[in-house]
Amino acid sequence: MSGDGIARKSVDELDPSLREFLKPTVDRLGYLGEFFQVAAHVPNAIPAFMQYTVAVKAPLSDKQNEVLALTVCALLEADYERIQHERLSKRLGFSLEWIAAAASFPGSHPSALADDERLLQALAVAVVTRHGMRCADEVRAVAAALGQDKAVAALLQVSRFVTIALLCNALSLSLPVPSVFDEPQT
């Protein structure tokens, strides 16, 4: 058991229906992430959470989703989820320069992001740093540029990433894989 008192469940300890549900994710990643090892204590929540994820992600492009994920996770110092999204971004073909800018790493260049991505990043920063208050200008800017559906999807995604980041931080989750910036560049 970990120091936080929450046992991490192995694949073999998962409810059989949850194991089958997570099989594609485990096969794709090559491991059962610690997030799922913990969340497996409430097995019915995982499919519902993943269904919600698909629904709020759908109106946005991959780059729009990833800029929200990387921005929120970097702001909240949620390395577990940030690294997951760095790796996903790289797998999606996004450059390291783009990934660094999306996470607002020191020395990165916001010009690596498209205009819509910078608007979404500003919205995510505003929501996280202002605790959701005084964000009308950023919401209005995203709604005007991308439409109301995408603005609402972005807000839902930001809140989802905040939830994940806080959970990962509270439980000090760690990954068996490094940041894309810590890997040898090919």
Domains of the chain: 11-57 (1.20.5), 62-172 (1.20.1290.10)
Nearest alpha-carbon partner for 102 in 80, 75, 78: 75
Q: What percent of the chain has pLDDT over 70?
A: 99
Q: What is the rounded distance in angstroms from the CA atom of residue 22 to the CA atom of residue 13?
A: 13
**How do residues 15-26 score in pLDDT, each as one tens digit?**
999 999 999 989
- H helical segments located in 58-147: 62-75, 79-91, 96-102, 115-129, 136-146
Confidence of residue 176 (pLDDT cuts 50, 70, 90): confident
Residue 34 has pLDDT above 80, yes or no: yes
pLDDT, tens only, 62-106 = 999 999 999 999 999 999 999 999 999 999 999 999 999 999 999
CB–CB of 139/151 below 8 Å?
yes
Instruction: Give me the chain's average pLDDT, please.
Output: 95
What is the model's pTM? 0.93
Q: Does residue 87 contact residue 143 with C-beta atoms inside 8 Å? A: no
- CA 59 to CA 63: how far, in whole Å? 12
